[in-house]
Amino acid sequence: MGKFNENYVITMKDIVREGAPILRKVTDEVDIPPSEEDKETLLCMLQYLKNSQTPEIAAKYKLRSGVGLSANQIGLDKRMFAAYIVDDKGEHEYTLFNPKIISHSLTMIYLQQGEGCLSVDRAVPGYVPRYERIKVRAYDITGEEVVLKLSGYPAIVFQHEIDHLNGIMFYDHINPDNPFQLPENVEIKSVF
Ligand SMILES: [Zn+2]
């Protein structure tokens, strides 16, 4: 059994911070069907996100609130991420291996308040342009191939996490000359 199993509570001390080489590496594909250890790890990562969005638990363990977590953010060179998003349509939880964006819209979106990251202990102002809609092929927790269509905020979360798995940080997308300059010749609007 690996370190990150059902009895382990991930806390901020497990979260790798910017500057660590593993956050700048293209992560290795996970074997499919996934091993029990990889599945347990991914579920443990999902639990972090749920805990972090539950005020009493977050306070007890001093967790920063997060909606997505990639394996390299806990120091593992593995292509997998968890996401937990609560919106007006309900709760959406994802545990995915080897995700890949197979198509995307031309239109883009960005979060008015910018993006944050559990691996970044500072506010980085600026707009992060993302595709408004994406189609992702991945393997779910049982090892079944799935194709997911995402739009709006969940699409932003997925792009942030898949970027992590490719060694890309959110601020790499921010215009270095003017952080609030949006890309030109592209239809782009804010979310929220
Ligand atoms: Zn992040």
**If pLDDT is split at 50, 70 and 90, which confidence band does 147 have?**
very high
Rounded to whole angstroms, how far apart are CA atoms 8 and 51? 12
In a domain, 16, yes or no: yes
Q: Is residue 192 over pLDDT 80?
A: no
**3-state DSSP assignment of residue 95:** strand
User: One-letter amino acid identity for 11?
Assistant: T
Q: What is the pLDDT of residue 92?
A: 97
Rounded to whole angstroms, how far apart are CA atoms 166 and 63? 25
Range of the domain at 141: 12-191
Q: What is the pLDDT of residue 1?
A: 75
Is 160 marked as binding a ligand?
A: yes
What are the tens digits of pLDDT across the range 47-82?
999 999 999 999 999 999 999 999 999 999 999 999
Is the sign of the CA dihedral 6, 138, 34, 76 positive or negative?
Answer: negative
Distance 66 CA to ligand 1 centre (A): 9
Distance 21 CA to ligand 1 centre (A): 14
Count structural domains, the chain. 1
Distance 139 CA to ligand 1 centre (A): 21
161 is catalytic: yes
The answer to whether 123 touches 116, Cβ cutoff 8 Å, is yes
In a domain, 144, yes or no: yes
- Encoding tokens for residue 161? 């996490």
Q: What is the pLDDT of residue 89?
A: 87
Catalytic residue among 145, 161, 184, 187: 161
In a domain, 6, yes or no: no
In a domain, 30, yes or no: yes
Strand partners, 148: 136
Q: Is residue 24 over pLDDT 90?
A: yes
The residue-averaged pLDDT of 23-30 equals 98
Distance 161 CA to ligand 1 centre (A): 6
User: 179: closest CA among 171, 189, 191?
Assistant: 171
Angle at alpha carbon of residue 61, lines to 56 and 63, rounded to 5° = 85
Rounded to whole angstroms, how far apart are CA atoms 85 and 99? 17
In a domain, 2, yes or no: no
In a domain, 5, yes or no: no
The residue-averaged pLDDT of 82-93 equals 95
In a domain, 87, yes or no: yes
**If pLDDT is split at 50, 70 and 90, which confidence band does 22 have?**
very high
Q: What is the pLDDT of residue 136?
A: 99
Return mean pLDDT, the chain: 97
The residue-averaged pLDDT of 36-42 equals 98
- Give the CATH number of the domain where residue 62 resides: 3.90.45.10
In a domain, 97, yes or no: yes
- Encoding tokens for residue 125? 């102002």
**pTM attached to this predicted model:** 0.97
